């Protein structure tokens, strides 16, 4: 790690914090942005001052002695904003939690119900490129104009109603967006709202909802252990906290221990909980279902979404909900099995047309294929590796020329990056790239990408730690420390088996410039800085990438990393 400090501080980082910079940002032609666009950026910058996820987690950890107070505080914020908890019943909410696949389940569920002609609201986290992605109507992020209008309306309302005796006048970042989503969905008169839990369930701020129409729990795993507990059973207890008396709930096949916890939680409050049959059971005697999201693990998410959507439709008096098939006893005997039915044409189309960027997403660009998946737990990384290897196996082989595999990785928070990297090792990458979740070295021109909780030094030291983990995986014994600082990159000694060279870049843009070598027809930045090729591995690798017939790039480890990559590869997402 010698030289890491000079490595991290040798780049041209803006010394001005956002509140010191002029609010008027340059437009694409050098002129100022319109007042409308500037107002949206102002709203996002003001939102960023409330809290970031990292700060929020630390606050909750400190206060978790009485987590129920967190829900009570959320109810007070809701009242100050002009709503009562009972008002949320008008939203006909589908409440979904889980460790893996809850976002994909939400996306499937929303798309199925939209296929019925319903006006849908969808609240999710985190965002990939723009914060307004978190609040969607009919599958689309609300417009900058709508976001700006509702943001300032809520912000000013909370300012006007603050108690001078209270030291906290504003809710944190996630709480504020949750409140804002409730207001948006009510004012825009959606027929239903799909609400994704932020973290956990029992004490998540979305759990102030008293009467959802139906609840769902996707696959469970280990994540946020400092907040939710360090066993699957403890985490299951937290997730089961969204169950409500008399409100139907569904879950997918889980390990015996966590499933028993979910069953007990449901029984304690008289919540009817059902186990979803596998997707194949719903396909029997009918057409095979096509999913808009790739990967075998999406079948479990789709099966849960079908049950949630069908239950919602039935609760609301819809007739076209699929013909029942012969029911079977529960596979485990712990829970009753949910209905086995023939998915309707609306359901089939909804599953087929589901889009959820950054999750098992492929982008084919000339010789490059980008594989984007925000897996960040060991179980989700296992699913990601299976998807990536299956995709490689089924691809068309190039007629001639070499094939190169590249891993672009980052991991944040308290996650075990060494464990995640070990799972990726069998993919046999030729190059492994580590970089922070920074689109550019300085992100002051884009409020959506700003993060004030970490310094450039901190995130780069984390990347160097990832690189050391990767090096150890490929060597029989720890390699000696790299001698002397490098301008942008560090590389360990070659591995003993499949040799993987690793590099550290200062930002996502520099990493993509080196990987793509100008061969991505959409991502065409200005000429890369010469320092990108200063390290011997970078120089020799550039030649290999320039001459390769095909380049397969897996981007994983962090949804925020995937979001930064998408921002550069898909400029339309920033519009």
Contact 102, 197 (CB under 8 A): yes
Q: Is 111 annotated as a binding residue?
A: no
The helix-helix angle for 35-48 and 144-160 (nearest 10°) equals 50
Q: CA dist 135 to 131, 184, 200, 402, 514, Å?
A: 8, 8, 20, 44, 34
Residue 346 annotated as binding? no
Whether 379 has a binding-site annotation, put simply, is no
Known binding residue 403? Answer is: no
Nearest to 200 by CA among 215, 214, 179, 220: 220
Measured CA to CA, the distance from residue 59 to residue 2 in angstroms comes to: 33
**Dist CA 220 CA 83 (whole Å):** 33
List Cα–Cα distances, 355 to 63, 277, 452, 549, in angstroms.
37, 23, 31, 29
Q: Rounded to the nearest 10 degrees, what angle do helices 345-353 and 298-315 cross at? A: 140
Measured between alpha carbons, how far is residue 306 from residues 191, 198, 284 in Å?
18, 22, 15
CA dist., res. 374 & res. 246, Å (int): 35
Query: Is 125 annotated to bind ligand?
Result: yes
Q: Could you give the CA distance from residue 315 to residue 326 in angstroms, rounded to a whole number?
A: 22
Dist CA 120 CA 445 (whole Å): 32
Q: Sheet of 431-434: strands edge to edge?
A: 361-365, 368-372, 550-556, 403-409, 431-434, 501-504
**Cα-based angle 489, 557, 228 (whole degrees, multiple of 5):** 130
Strands (E), 257-387: 273-275, 361-365, 368-372
Q: Which residues are annotated as a binding site for Mg(2+)?
A: 125, 196, 224
Q: Which residues are annotated as a binding site for ATP?
A: 359, 373
Q: Which residues are annotated as a binding site?
A: 125, 196, 224, 359, 373
């Amino acid at each position: 790690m010698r030289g890491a400090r000079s490595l991290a501080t040798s780049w041209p980082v803006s010394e001005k914090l956002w509140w010191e910079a002029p609010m008027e940002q340059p437009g694409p032609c050098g002129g100022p942005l319109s007042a409308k666009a500037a107002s949206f950026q102002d709203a996002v910058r003001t939102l960023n001052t409330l809290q970031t996820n990292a700060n929020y987690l630390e606050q909750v950890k400190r206060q978790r002695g009485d987590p129920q107070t967190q829900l009570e505080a959320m109810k007070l914020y809701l009242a100050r904003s002009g709503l009562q908890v009972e008002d949320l019943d008008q939203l006909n909410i589908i409440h979904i939690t889980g460790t893996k696949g809850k976002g994909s389940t939400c996306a499937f569920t929303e798309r199925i119900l939209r296929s019925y002609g319903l006006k849908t609201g969808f609240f999710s986290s985190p965002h990939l490129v723009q914060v307004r992605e978190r609040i969607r109507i009919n599958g689309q992020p609300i417009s900058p104009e709508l976001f700006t209008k509702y943001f300032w309306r809520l912000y000013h309302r909370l300012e006007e109603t603050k108690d001078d005796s209270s030291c906290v006048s504003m809710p944190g970042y996630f709480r504020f967006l949750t409140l804002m989503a409730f207001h948006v969905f009510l004012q825009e008169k959606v027929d239903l709202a799909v609400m994704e839990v932020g973290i956990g369930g029992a004490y998540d701020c979305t759990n102030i909802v008293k009467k959802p129409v139906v609840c769902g729990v996707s696959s469970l795993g280990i994540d946020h252990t400092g907040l939710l507990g360090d066993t699957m059973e403890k985490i299951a207890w937290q997730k089961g906290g969204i169950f409500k008396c008399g409100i139907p709930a569904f879950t997918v096949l889980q390990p015996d221990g966590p499933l028993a916890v979910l069953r007990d939680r449901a029984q304690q409050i008289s919540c009817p909980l059902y186990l979803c049959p596998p997707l194949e059971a719903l396909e029997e005697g009918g057409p095979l279902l096509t999913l808009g999201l790739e990967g075998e693990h999406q079948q479990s998410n789709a099966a849960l979404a079908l049950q949630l959507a069908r239950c919602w439709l039935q609760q609301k008096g819809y007739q076209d909900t699929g013909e029942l098939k012969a029911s079977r006893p529960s596979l485990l005997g712990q829970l009753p099995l949910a209905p086995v039915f023939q998915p309707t044409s609306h359901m089939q189309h909804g599953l087929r047309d589901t889009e959820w960027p950054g999750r098992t997403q492929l982008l084919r660009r000339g010789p490059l294929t980008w594989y984007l998946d925000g897996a960040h737990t060991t179980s989700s990384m296992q699913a990601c590796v299976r998807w990536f290897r299956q995709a490689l196996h089924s691809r068309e082989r190039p007629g001639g020329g070499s094939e190169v595999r590249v891993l672009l990785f980052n991991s944040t928070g308290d996650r075990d990056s060494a464990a995640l990297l070990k799972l990726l090792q069998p993919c046999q990458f030729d190059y492994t790239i580590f970089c922070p979740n920074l689109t550019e070295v300085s992100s002051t021109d884009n409020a959506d990408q700003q993060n004030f909780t970490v310094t450039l030094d901190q995130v780069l030291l984390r990347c160097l730690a990832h690189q050391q983990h990767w090096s150890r995986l490929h060597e029989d014994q720890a390699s000696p420390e790299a001698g002397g600082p490098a301008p942008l990159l560090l590389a360990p000694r070659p591995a003993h088996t499949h040799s993987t060279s690793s590099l550290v870049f200062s930002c996502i843009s520099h990493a993509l410039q080196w990987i793509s070598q100008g061969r991505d027809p959409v991502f065409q930045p200005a000429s890369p800085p010469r320092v990108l090729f200063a390290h011997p591995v970078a120089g020799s690798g550039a030649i290999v990438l320039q001459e390769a017939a095909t380049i397969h790039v897996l981007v994983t480890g962090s949804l925020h990393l995937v979001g930064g990559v998408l921002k550069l590869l898909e400029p339309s997402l920033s519009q």
